[in-house]
Amino acid sequence: MQNYRQLFDLTGKVAVVLGAASGIGQASAHALGSLGAHVVCADRDAEGAEATARDITESGQGSAEWRATDAADGTHIAALAEHTLVTHGRVDIAVATPALNIRKLIVDYTDDEFDQVMNLNLKGAFHFMRQFGVPMMKQGKGSLVLCSSMRAVTIEPGLGIYAASKAGIEQMVKGFASEVGSHGVRVNAVMPSIIETRLTAPLKERREIYDTYAAHTVFNRWGQPSEVGAAVAFLASDAASYISGSSLSVDGGWTAIDGPPTGLTQTRAST
C-alpha cells in the first residue's frame, strides 16, 4: 500500500529558491523547509534572503542557507547553481519566483522598460532552467518549478508586456518538460492570481481596486503567499511524480469564471 504521507516528505532533499526574500518565494522556501528539505535561499535582497534562511533554521522545522543572487543576471544564476552543486553535490528541487511588472500601455512602454521586464521575468527563467536543468539531467532526477501567472491566459489594459513574459514562461515550461522528461526531470509552473505580496502592494493600497480584484475570485478575497508556496511544495514533491509540463492555477477560481460573480444565489423550489 502506498505511503501517501511519505510522498510529500522532502527530508534529505536539496532545494534552491530564487526570490526567497519575500512574497511567494519566501513562502515557497518556508514550505519546502518545513517538509524537510535543506533550502538555499537566494535573492538580490541579501538581507531578506538571510532572514528567510534564519527563520527556517530557527523554527526547528528545517535547515537553510542563503546566497545573494540577482535573478536578472545569468552569471549570478550560474554561480548559484555551481555553489549548490559544489556544496551539496546535487540539487533536487529548484524554484524561481522573481518578477517585475511595469504597468503601462504598450504604446507608452520604452525600450528600456521592455528590456527590464523581459530580462528578469523571461530571460531570467531561461537562465534558471538551463543552469539547474543540466545538473538535474546528469543526476537523472529533479523538479523545476517556475512562477507564471494567470495573466498568461487573461489580460487587462496595461499588463500586455508583463503578460507576454508570463505566457512565455508557461510555454518554456512545456518545451523544457518535453526535452528533459526522458532524463527523469520534471518541469512545472504555478499560475497565481492576485496574491498579497510586495509586487501587488500598490494595488492593495487602493481600496476600490482591491475589492474589484477580490470579486474576480470565487472566494471574494486575495490569496496569501503561503497558498502558492503549498502548491510549489506539492509540485516539487514525489506526490506530483507524474506531473510535468503543467501550469497549476492557484487563482481562487479567477480563470474559471467569466468575470466577477453576479451575486445571484440558486434557490431550490419546494414541492
Which residue do the cell numbers 510529500 mark? 8
> Around Cβ 271, how many Cβ atoms within 10 Å?
3
The three cell numbers locating residue 120: 528578469
Catalytic residue among 162, 210, 213, 242: 162
Residues 6 or more apart in contact with residue 222 via CB below 8 angstroms: 194, 195, 196, 200, 204, 210, 213, 214, 252
Cell digits for 94?
529548484
Which residues does 44 contact at the CB level (< 8 Å), separation at least 6? 21, 68, 69, 70, 71, 98
| C-alpha cell at position 97 | 519566483
Instruction: Report residue 182 CA to chain centroid gap.
Output: 24
The rounded Cα 115 to chain-centroid distance in angstroms is 21
- Residue type at 152 in one-letter notation: A
Task: Assess whether 213 carries a catalytic annotation.
Answer: no
- Cα 151 versus chain centre, distance: 14
Residues with a known catalytic role: 162
